[in-house]
């Protein structure tokens, strides 16, 4: 989007650099040199230590989804409500609450005599409640802290109608908003939750379009952005630094070489904490691995085929971290725009630029090379990639031509920089052979164009919540792509299946430690003891959704074994979280028990201590060896069922030992 010009002076990079720590230069990233190989396979023992089921308040048994739908809605979308404010940003905060954040604009929903730009959406009533936010959240970033609080950081100057910069930056204006570029807003989800915006916790520099990533201590890494807005970045406006929130004594922003070298398409850098404790960066046509502990950036080869960062806005996702892959991170990027740096501001008609259909991935722990993945069936920008508990990835939203953003150029379509919305979703299955991983068989199209400023998140019942779309500077209900408030749910193939109801799910987990037991009945195994060989226990962080990114989204499997029972049920012996907070960071996550691809309703669990700081690492207890079950799991003919769910624990264990013994090839 384009922000109106400001009368406030822009500090030069030369002036700013005096305030920043300088990064260390480094050689090309080389896993053989820079990665210390680790093996998190849990040992097995013939001894079984009794773990009686505890009927206590700190264990949970999930039931069936409370939101019921007819079978004709499966693999399709349902419009269920109104978000109150347009969903430029959102996150799942609790079992029943989604928090929606907009930019400052003239939304019909009001609070305290002015338009609201934040709301709490109740999943049980499908009603939105306005929330007060005093600063402008326009193109802020977000993430979850290790104590369970959510953080929304940065934003833009105070504005009035049509996004014009206000003469008052302290709230004395028509929309009653203040400058949000320094702001650090927090909320503790729950009944009656409200946003807290304390100037004492503000950032030290202005950030618009920043990226956030939770680190191993539960603090948040904050990267990049610019100072006063604009469609793309430039040297005078850029903030090429990173910092941490909350700030520790003596910390100052640290300069980033890759951000300095990737203008102008380097806003909302794509970040992923990898299990080595370093951060994978994909920015414009460059990439690097950042060791933030030593302030060292290790360059990677150039990003092939297309730009993936805003405004190209590709879908990006870390594929599931599993027992079978020894919790090794592979990050995939799909779509974007094949534009060179000089083309973003060349005056070309961007709305006609075809979106890329390319998909690439990288596994930085084992290789420094990019891999071409199966291409999309059509080019897509602004797609959202959502991890489903069955191990697949759901992709929706976006457009086939153009780029993210809006403005008043002569070639725009009623402000929009993109056209030709894509209504059809698609599903990626990483367990399928190459050439067969994308599938949309049976999937039904949405009826709503989800263009710029659309968002999506997984819900605890395994459906996907989708809202937003607003390629305009202010509330615009009567346009081709209007300001959208309609909320949709997408229902995957498993939604109306009878869900497993495991007993004994703990509400908190540790990094390493003693295993715990879950109980499954014969009904939970669908009457076939062979399905015990097709079980996964999965933790999912649903992330903070904005601008085609779900900051912090990831899926990590817990190792387990099982003991069968004479009544046709089974006891699952489940290891705690692998003893490395960089695999899945401390803070809230959702635990799903998946039987032959069908997930239980997710249970909110706290990973780690529930506080910020170094997490205690416990010795991993050996798991009892599994019972021998010769019966086969049910054959699931659904096209979107991940076959990965049918790998037996014994085979996974053997494969993991083999993987750990083999030196990876670059």
Distance in angstroms (rounded) separating the CA atoms of residues 647 and 534? 6
Distance in angstroms (rounded) separating the CA atoms of residues 90 and 142? 9
Distance in angstroms (rounded) separating the CA atoms of residues 394 and 257? 34
3-state SS record for 163-175: HCECCCCECCCCC
Q: Which residue has the tokens 């387990």?
A: 560
Please report which confidence band the pLDDT of residue 4 belongs to, taking 50, 70 and 90 as the band edges.
very low
In this predicted structure, what is the pLDDT of residue 8? 39
**CATH architecture group of domain 59-491:** 7 Propeller (2.130)
DSSP result, 211-261:
EEEE-TTS-EEEE--BSS--SS--TTTB--EEEEESPPTT---EE-HHHHT
Give yes or no for residue 639 having a pLDDT over 60.
no
The answer to whether 81 and 126 have CB atoms below 8 angstroms apart is yes
In this predicted structure, what is the pLDDT of residue 635? 83
**Buried-exposed string 357-393: b where 16+ CB fall within 10 A, e elsewhere:** bbbbbbbbbbbbebeebbbbeebbbbbbbbbbbbbbb
Domain ranges of the chain: 59-491, 505-628
Q: Count the Cβ atoms, other than its own, within 10 Å of residue 260.
A: 16
For the chain, give the mean pLDDT.
Answer: 92
The answer to whether 270 and 288 have CB atoms below 8 angstroms apart is no
Report the percent of the chain where pLDDT is more than 70: 91
In this predicted structure, what is the pLDDT of residue 108? 98
Q: Which residue has the higher pLDDT, 487 or 17?
A: 487
List pLDDT tens digits, range 420-473.
999 999 999 999 999 999 999 999 999 999 999 999 999 999 999 999 999 999
In this predicted structure, what is the pLDDT of residue 629? 83
Please report which confidence band the pLDDT of residue 511 belongs to, taking 50, 70 and 90 as the band edges.
very high
CA triple 70-481-428, angle to 5 deg: 50
* Mean pLDDT value of segment 116-127: 98
The answer to whether 318 and 330 have CB atoms below 8 angstroms apart is yes
In this predicted structure, what is the pLDDT of residue 509? 98
260-to-137, 239, 240, 241 alpha-carbon distances in Å = 25, 9, 6, 9
Distance in angstroms (rounded) separating the CA atoms of residues 201 and 152? 12
In this predicted structure, what is the pLDDT of residue 638? 60
201 burial (CB, 10 Å; 0-12 / 13-18 / 19+) is middle
* Mean pLDDT value of segment 333-348: 97
pTM (predicted TM-score): 0.93
List pLDDT tens digits, range 44-101.
988 877 766 544 558 999 999 999 999 999 999 999 999 999 999 999 999 999 999 9
The SS3 of residue 270 is: strand
In this predicted structure, what is the pLDDT of residue 52? 61
In this predicted structure, what is the pLDDT of residue 41? 83
The SS3 of residue 582 is: coil
Please report which confidence band the pLDDT of residue 655 belongs to, taking 50, 70 and 90 as the band edges.
very low
Please report which confidence band the pLDDT of residue 631 belongs to, taking 50, 70 and 90 as the band edges.
confident
List pLDDT tens digits, range 284-330.
999 999 999 999 999 999 999 999 999 999 999 999 999 999 999 99
| Weakest-pLDDT range from 24-38, 132-146, 479-493 | 24-38
CB proximity list for 469: less than 8 A, separation 6 or greater: 86, 397, 448, 449, 450, 451, 452, 453, 454, 481, 482, 483, 484
* Mean pLDDT value of segment 356-360: 98
Name the maximum alpha-carbon separation found in the chain. 77
The CATH number of 505-628 is: 2.60.40.10
| φ/ψ (deg, to 5) at 534 | -130, 50
* Mean pLDDT value of segment 239-267: 97
Distance in angstroms (rounded) separating the CA atoms of residues 129 and 233? 35
Distance in angstroms (rounded) separating the CA atoms of residues 158 and 29? 42
The SS3 of residue 358 is: coil
In this predicted structure, what is the pLDDT of residue 53? 56
The SS3 of residue 200 is: helix
Can you say whether residue 190 is alpha, beta or left, with left for phi > 0 and alpha for psi between -120 and 50 degrees? Answer: left
């Amino acid at each position: 989007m384009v922000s109106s010009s400001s009368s406030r002076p822009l500090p030069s990079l030369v002036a700013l650099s005096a305030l920043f720590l300088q990064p260390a230069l480094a050689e090309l990233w080389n896993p053989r040199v820079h990665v210390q190989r680790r093996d998190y396979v849990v040992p097995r023992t013939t001894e079984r230590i009794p773990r009686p089921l505890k009927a206590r308040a700190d264990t949970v048994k999930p039931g069936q989804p409370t939101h019921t739908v007819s079978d004709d809605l499966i693999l399709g979308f349902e419009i269920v409500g109104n978000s109150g404010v347009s969903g430029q940003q959102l996150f799942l905060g609790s079992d029943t609450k989604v928090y929606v954040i907009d930019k400052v604009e003239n939304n019909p929903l009001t609070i305290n005599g002015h338009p609201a730009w934040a709301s709490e959406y109740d999943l049980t009533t499908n009603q939105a409640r306005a929330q007060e936010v005093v600063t402008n959240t326009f193109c802020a970033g977000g993430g979850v802290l290790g104590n369970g609080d959510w953080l929304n950081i940065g934003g833009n100057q105070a504005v009035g109608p049509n996004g014009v910069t206000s003469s008052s930056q302290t709230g004395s204006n028509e929309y009653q908003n203040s400058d949000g570029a320094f702001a650090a807003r927090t909320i503790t989800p729950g009944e009656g939750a409200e946003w807290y915006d304390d100037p004492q916790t503000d950032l030290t520099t202005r950030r618009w379009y920043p990226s956030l990533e939770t680190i191993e201590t539960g603090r948040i890494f904050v990267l990049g952005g610019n100072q006063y807005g604009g469609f793309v970045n430039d040297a005078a406006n850029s903030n090429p630094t990173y910092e941490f929130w909350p700030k520790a004594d003596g910390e100052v922003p640290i300069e980033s070489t890759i951000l300095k070298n990737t203008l102008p398409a380097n806003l909302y850098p794509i970040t992923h904490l990898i299990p080595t404790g370093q951060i994978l960066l994909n920015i414009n046509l460059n990439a690097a691995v950042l060791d933030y502990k030593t302030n060292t950036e290790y360059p990677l080869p150039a990003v092939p085929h297309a730009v993936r960062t805003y405004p190209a806005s590709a879908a990006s996702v870390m594929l599931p971290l599993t027992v079978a892959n020894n919790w090794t991170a592979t990050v995939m990027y799909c779509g974007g725009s094949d534009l060179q740096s000089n083309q973003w501001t060349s005056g070309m008609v961007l709305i006609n630029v075809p979106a890329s259909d390319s998909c690439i991935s990288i596994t930085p722990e084992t290789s420094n090379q990019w891999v071409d993945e199966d291409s999309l069936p059509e080019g897509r920008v602004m797609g959202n990639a959502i991890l489903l508990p069955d191990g697949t990835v759901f992709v929706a939203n976006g457009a086939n031509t153009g780029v993210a953003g809006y403005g008043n150029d002569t070639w725009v379509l009623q402000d929009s920089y993109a056209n030709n919305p894509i209504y059809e979703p698609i599903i990626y299955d990483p367990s399928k052979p190459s050439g067969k991983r994308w599938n949309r068989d049976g999937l039904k199209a949405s009826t709503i164009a989800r263009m710029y400023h659309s968002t999506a998140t997984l819900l605890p019942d395994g459906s996907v919540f989708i809202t937003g779309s607003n390629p305009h500077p202010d509330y615009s209900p009567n346009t081709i792509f209007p300001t959208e408030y309609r909320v949709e749910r997408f229902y995957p193939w498993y939604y109306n299946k009878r869900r497993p109801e495991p007993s004994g799910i703990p509400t908190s987990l540790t990094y390493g430690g003693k295993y715990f037991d879950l109980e499954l009945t014969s009904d939970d195994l669908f009457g076939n003891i062979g399905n015990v060989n097709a079980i996964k226990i999965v933790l999912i962080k649903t992330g903070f959704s904005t601008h085609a990114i779900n900051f912090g989204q990831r899926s990590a499997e817990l190792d387990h074994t099982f003991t069968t029972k004479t009544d046709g049920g089974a006891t699952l012996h489940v290891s705690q979280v692998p003893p490395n907070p960089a695999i899945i960071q401390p803070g809230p996550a959702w635990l799903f028990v998946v039987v032959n691809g069908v997930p239980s309703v997710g249970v909110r669990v706290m990973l780690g201590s529930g506080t910020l700081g170094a997490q205690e690492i416990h010795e991993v207890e050996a798991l009892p060896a599994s019972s021998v079950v010769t019966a086969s799991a049910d054959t699931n003919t659904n096209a979107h069922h991940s076959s990965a769910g049918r790998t037996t624990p014994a085979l996974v264990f053997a494969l993991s030992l083999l993987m750990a013994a083999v030196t990876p090839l670059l």
